């Protein structure tokens, strides 16, 4: 892999990630280092679950942080613990996140997986739109999920909310002019990998996010 190939990849991630962040009010993307960055801090401001340190109850929180790094050999191989790491809070409550160890498993990470794909997968996990219960990092959370499915997902809003609102406004305007616009005109659903070694076995508690 040449330096030009890597720089081109990093430029695309920066442009596409910035575009998504502009179209969303669910997270803040914080590039780290010179442009194009190879590291990002991400602050999600959606609803998720944590375990109360006072009495152990499961409660909602609205700030979650992860780090993302694209190492020099990322287009040839991808190691989940190296690329994606949990920054906080440490008492996060989800089957596929181990807060104290900084571990998060969003699925099978293939080399060259885009920044946007990673952001969608992390968001769906934090909001409990997706969970893998049979390959858990937190078995207590997995058991809790089986008994509390009526509470899930915690946050049903799509990551790209501003784009959805824009599409709905456009549909309303076009319907007023008599133009035949169908829901199929909306963006297609994003695809996410399952957490664990076997793909395609994630438990979803809501329709997939709009891409």
CA distance 167 to 187: 9
- Asked if residue 89 belongs to a domain, the reply is yes
Domain count along the chain: 1
- Asked if residue 168 belongs to a domain, the reply is no
Please write the tens of the pLDDT for every residue from 100-126. Answer: 999 999 988 999 999 999 999 999 999
Cα angle 57-61-62, degrees, rounded to a multiple of 5? 175
The CATH number assigned to the domain holding 8 equals 3.10.110.10
- Decide: 205 and 129 in contact? Cβ < 8 Å: yes
CA distance 44 to 177: 38
Torsion over CA: 188, 180, 23, 25 (sign): negative
**Beta carbons within 10 angstroms of residue 54's beta carbon:** 7
- Decide: 119 and 40 in contact? Cβ < 8 Å: no
The pTM assigned to this predicted structure is: 0.80
Please write the tens of the pLDDT for every residue from 40-61. Answer: 999 999 999 999 999 999 999 9
- Asked if residue 175 belongs to a domain, the reply is no
């Amino acid at each position: 892999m040449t330096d030009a190939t890597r720089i081109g990849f990093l430029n695309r991630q920066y442009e596409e990630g910035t575009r998504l962040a502009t179209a969303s009010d669910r997270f803040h993307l914080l590039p780290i280092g010179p442009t194009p960055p190879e590291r990002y801090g991400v602050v999600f401001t959606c609803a998720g679950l944590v375990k109360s340190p006072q009495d152990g109850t499961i409660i909602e929180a609205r700030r979650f942080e992860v780090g993302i790094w694209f190492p020099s050999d990322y287009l040839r191989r991808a190691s989940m613990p190296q690329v994606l790491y949990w920054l906080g809070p440490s008492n996060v409550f989800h089957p596929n996140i181990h807060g104290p160890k900084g571990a998060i498993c969003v699925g099978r990470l293939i080399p060259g997986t885009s920044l946007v794909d990673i952001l969608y997968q992390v968001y769906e996990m934090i909001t409990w739109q997706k969970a893998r219960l049979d390959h858990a990092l937190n078995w207590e959370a997995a058991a809790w999920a089986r008994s509390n499915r009526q509470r899930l997902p915690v946050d049903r809003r799509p990551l790209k909310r501003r784009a959805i609102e824009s599409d709905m406004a456009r549909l309303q305007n076009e319907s007023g002019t008599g133009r035949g616009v169908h829901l199929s005109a909306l963006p297609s659903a994003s695809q996410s990998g399952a957490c664990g070694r076997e793909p395609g076995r994630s438990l979803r508690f809501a329709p997939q996010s709009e891409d």
